[in-house]
Amino acid sequence: MGSVPKTTHKDFDVEDVLEKLNIDEKVALLSGTDFWHTASVPRLGVPAVRVSDGPNGKGGHLQGKEAIAKGASVILGPTTNMQRSPLGGRGFESFSEDPVLAGHMTAATINGIQSTGVGATPKHYVCNDQEDQRMSVNSLVTERALREIYLMPFQIAQKDSNPMCFMTAYNQVNGTHVSESPRLINDVLRKEWGFDGMVMSDWFGTYSFTESVKAGLDLEMPGPSYVRGKLINQALGCGKLTEYDIDNCVRKVLELVKKVLPLGIPENAPEHTIDSPETAALLRKISSNGLVLMKNDNATLPFKKDKTTAVIGPNADLAAFSGGGSASLLPYYAITPLQGVKTQAKNVKYTLGAPGWKKLPLLSRMSKTNDDKQGLTMNVYLDPPSKKDRELIDTVHVSDSNCLLVDYKHPKITSSLWYATFTGHITPPQTANYEFSLSVAGTATLSIDSHLLIDNATHQTPGDSFFGTGTRDETATTSLEAHKTYTVSIAFATLPTQTFTVPGTTAFGAGGVRIGCARVISPQDELARAVDLASSVDQVVLCAGLNSDWESEGYDRTTMDLPPGSDELISAVCAANPNTAVIVQSGTPVTMPWFQAAKAVVQAWYGGNETGNAIADVVFGDVNPSGKLPLTFPVRNEDNPAFLNYRSERGRVVYGEDVYVGYRFYEKTRRDVVAPFGHGLSYTTFALEALELRVDEGTDEIAISVDVRNTGDRDGAQVVQVYVSQESPSIGRPVKELKGFTKVQVKKGAAVKAEVRMSKKYATSFWDEERDAWVSEKGKYTVLVGDSSASTPLKGGFEVKKTMWWRGL
């Protein structure tokens, strides 16, 4: 544990510094210097600022404290894009299919982060809702859908939290890349919404020097500059840019540096940790409170701790704590569901049941270093293995064999070309065939006891590893003896040695390597063992779902289904033992053909460090579940409104569903779903009573209150959801739209008054494309209050007496 030592940076006057900067210094400030730092101007007392990819899923305040411990002044998050389709690779990072929920979640996260003095960066502004051709795809979207669905969460975030930064999306919107869109950056974000902070590009998402500067993109990331730099000087020389254009961007960079000066974080601060019992307890509470009890027939859950319990499934002995990509950070620790159950139940047995991996489990789960640490040892060299007696320049312990080397630095490394070996020892628990896998951004070979097993250097095939920059997984199988120790060695060379390039992908630093290993199994035998075990115990915790290989930045899912074998496993185990709780981990919906057969289903998401403990807390009733689905679970992917218009088609994607995203579509078309938006059960029951509605004409505020009565025998929490419907709109509108919500804690047998306040103009308006403005139409509006989009038993109403058009916030 520890904290970053404070330093005192002298405050500076932005305009004074701007006046004293020479043109080279100004140009330098328009780009990062490396992957995570802005440029400094030592002679004028302007320090560099470190930014960091944001940990996802934590409370906002804790994120800020984590950033400070890591020496970072700005967090690159939260992700505010819409969950337009279940297949979106980064859907697990996003908050919701509903723009109001996403906006309020974003604002709350930003306020938490910035309460610590750390800057937040809502991203990716805007319509970065798929990974397929994410840098080039042209998102074709109507102005109404753009405003009501995709810009709305960013608008709410700006209105309610005033973030220090925004990050632009990779993609085009209606023919123009966002990073060079004057309309989206200057006209909408700055002039219409009043944003006065800094706008940065996504990493390698700056595609021009003149257009991006004129559009208001202040900072190109990462560095060193690959678009700006000397080209800016050329643009100044030929008159494409003026120094005034440059100053507008430099000013915003300087203002950001000034805002975070009070943090006192020194340049290139060492990274520390704040892993503590208090942090763990908070993470456990947040994770368990977010679990959604989707189904609980006959009060199957909670389970009894003293009964015999089987833990089965591909996600049981795997800590699926996050999806993949830049949102996934190396955790201090990660608790598996199996570990969580074992800490609470007395008699626990485990079997795999079915392999749920897309890529083999990481070798680091079973490998040890010479000094008995989990993982591998990385030895670093400037020269290739062919050079005799090459100099060893560094030795690093690598705890994770999915190793992205973007952050690795060494004073002797002065180019992007260098070499490394990764070495570890494995001792198989049983004699069997073991399969190894190797993917790389660069080149690599894998050997066991000096015998070459996999060559991913001589002949390479492009794949989806390392954000699409690297190779596919190359695999090989070998027989290993039980309790015998083997040395696994990987010879690695950095990205410049790779034998191919993939146009349009992001080359992350030195590249990386991923090494996997697992015992070769028979799916039929594993399924049979699972059924036998399930039949022999009182209760079953069946853990299935996705992981960071299935849901990740860089690619979208190709199907909404669970991994092969999972559906068969769930069906067979539920038939063998009806007292089965199915725990599903995923960031977005999966198909559930077994939903009717299962008595209890919990949507557990990814859950972070404490995911296993949080699952066990809900399964055994230490925590009464209160989470609600932030997105609809359709029956099939074909039912999703974006089904016909998802992924790039010759460089473009049509947002053909218009404003009918998620529940707006399912309710308009009366389409059956597995579980509706906002749904979530509890171990107790609630009744909503006594709706009161008050409209304050002077303040544009609508106040709704209801009594929430706990009619069960356990304390619990309920989320009251408020939807609004226009009775006679002049255009087609959704059946109802979420406009407010609140969560209340209620003791058993008691009642609590819940109150929701919301803006009348936000609650009633749609985007009028003819007037290019929001319109709140004269007429009657219905207020629907309930506990999901499909369950709104209380009804009230109010009237708008005069049609009003408006813009801005």
**Whether residue 378 is found in the same domain as residue 349:** no
Range of the domain at 430: 373-463+471-479+488-498+508-518
Q: What is the mean pLDDT of residues 448-468?
A: 95
In whole angstroms, what separates CA 379 from the centre of its chain?
A: 32
Is residue 680 in a domain? no
The answer to whether residues 629 and 600 touch, using CB atoms and an 8 Å cutoff, is no
Do 184 and 205 lie in a common domain?
Answer: yes
CATH code of the domain covering residue 400? 2.60.120.260
Q: Is the pLDDT of residue 743 over 60?
A: yes
pLDDT at 59 over 60: no
Helix (H) or strand (E) holding 107: helix 99-114
| Contact predicate 553/324, CB 8 Å | yes
Residue 541 in domain: yes
Which of 206, 227, 261 corresponds to the end of one domain?
261
CA-CA-CA-CA dihedral for 230, 232, 234, 237, to nearest 10 = -140
CB within 8 Å of 164: residues ≥ 6 apart: 74, 114, 119, 120, 121, 197, 198, 256, 259, 260
Residues 526 and 512 in one domain: no
Same domain membership, residue 229 and residue 180? yes
CATH number at residue 319: 3.40.50.1700
Q: Please, how many CA atoms are within 13 Å of residue 3, restricted to the half-sphere of its CB?
A: 10
220 and 85: one domain?
yes
Specify if 362 maps to a domain: no
Q: If DSSP states are collapsed to H, E and C, what string results for 8-49? A: CCCCCCHHHHHHHCCHHHHHHHCEECCCCEECCEHHHCECCC
On whether both 28 and 105 belong to a single domain, the answer is yes
Which of 203, 242, 216, 68 minimizes the C-alpha distance to 123?
203
Q: Which residues pair with 471 in a beta bridge?
A: 462
The DSSP secondary structure of 133-179, one letter per residue, reads TTTT-EEE--HHHIIIIISHHHHHHHHHH--SEEEB-SSEETTEEGG
pLDDT of 57 over the 70 cut: no
Distance of CA 48 to the CA centre of its chain: 27
pLDDT band at 54 (very low <50, low <70, confident <90, very high): low
Is the confidence at residue 2, as pLDDT, over 80?
Answer: no
Counting other chains too, the contacts that 366-373 makes at CB distance below 8 Å and 24 or more residues apart are: 366/426, 366/517, 367/401, 367/424, 367/425, 367/426, 367/488, 367/517, 368/424, 368/425, 368/426, 368/427, 369/397, 369/423, 369/424, 369/425, 370/425, 373/397, 373/399
Rounded to the nearest integer, the mean pLDDT of the chain is 95
C-alpha of 242 from chain center? 39
Q: Which pLDDT score, from 0 to 100, does residue 387 have?
A: 94
Q: Of the candidates 474, 319, 464, which has an alpha carbon nearest to the alpha carbon of residue 399?
A: 319
Q: 278 exposed, middle or buried (CB, 10 Å; 0-12, 13-18, 19+)?
A: exposed
Q: Taking residues 118-147, report their average pLDDT.
A: 97
Owner of token pair 């103009």: 761
Does residue 503 have a pLDDT over 80?
Answer: no
Give the Cα separation of 460 and 455 in Å (integer).
9
Q: What is the CATH number of the domain that holds 226?
A: 3.20.20.300
Using 50, 70 and 90 to split pLDDT, how confident is the model at 55?
Answer: very low
Q: Is the N-terminal amide bond of 397 cis, ω within 30° of 0?
A: no
In a domain, 276, yes or no: no
Given the structure tokens 């002679």, which residue do they identify?
43
Instruction: Check pLDDT > 60 for residue 1.
Output: no
Q: How many CB atoms lie within 10 A of CB 679?
A: 23
Q: In the annotation, is 556 catalytic?
A: no
**Same domain, yes or no: 600 and 720:** no
**Which residue type is seen at 392?**
L
Q: What is the pLDDT of residues 191-212, one digit of tens each?
A: 999 999 999 999 999 999 999 9
Q: What single-letter amino acid sits at 7?
A: T
Residue 155 has pLDDT above 60, yes or no: yes
Tokens found for residue 172:
């085009």
The predicted pLDDT at position 589 comes to: 98
Q: Find out whether 419 and 381 touch, Cβ atoms under 8 Å.
A: yes
pLDDT of residue 506: 66
Q: Which of 584, 600, 627 is the last residue of a domain?
A: 627
**pLDDT, tens digit (0-9, with 9 covering 90-100), for 94-130:** 999 999 999 999 999 999 999 999 999 999 999 999 9
649 in a structural domain: no
110 and 217 part of one domain = yes
Q: How confident is the model at residue 758 (pLDDT cuts 50, 70, 90)?
A: very high
**pLDDT value at position 4?**
63
pLDDT tens for 674-692 read 999 999 999 999 999 999 9
Q: Does the residue 4 lie in any domain?
A: no
Alpha carbon distance 71, 269 (integer Å): 5
For 720, the token pair is: 């009251």
Residue 453 has pLDDT above 90, yes or no: yes
At 126, the amino acid letter reads V
Q: Judge if 379 and 431 occupy the same domain.
A: yes
Maximum C-alpha span of the chain: 86
CATH number of the domain enclosing 751: 2.60.40.10
**pLDDT tens, residue by residue, 303-358:** 999 999 999 999 999 999 999 888 777 788 999 999 999 999 999 999 999 999 99
Domain stop point among 261, 292, 307:
261
Q: Which of 46-55, 186-195, 623-632, 667-676 has the lowest mean pLDDT?
A: 46-55
Catalytic residue, chosen from 34, 98, 202, 639, is 202
Q: Residue 504 has what pLDDT?
A: 67
Burial class of residue 479, CB neighbours in 10 A (0-12, 13-18, 19+):
exposed
Q: Is residue 648 part of a domain?
A: no
Domain count, the chain: 4
- Whether the predicted pLDDT of 643 surpasses 60: yes
Shared domain for 32 and 144, answered yes or no, is yes
Q: What is the pLDDT of residues 227-279, one digit of tens each?
A: 999 899 899 999 999 999 999 999 999 999 999 999 999 998 988 888 889 98
Q: Decide which of 391 and 3 is more confident.
A: 391
Structural domain contains residue 313: yes
Residues 68 and 209 in one domain: yes
Q: Do residues 377 and 256 share a domain?
A: no
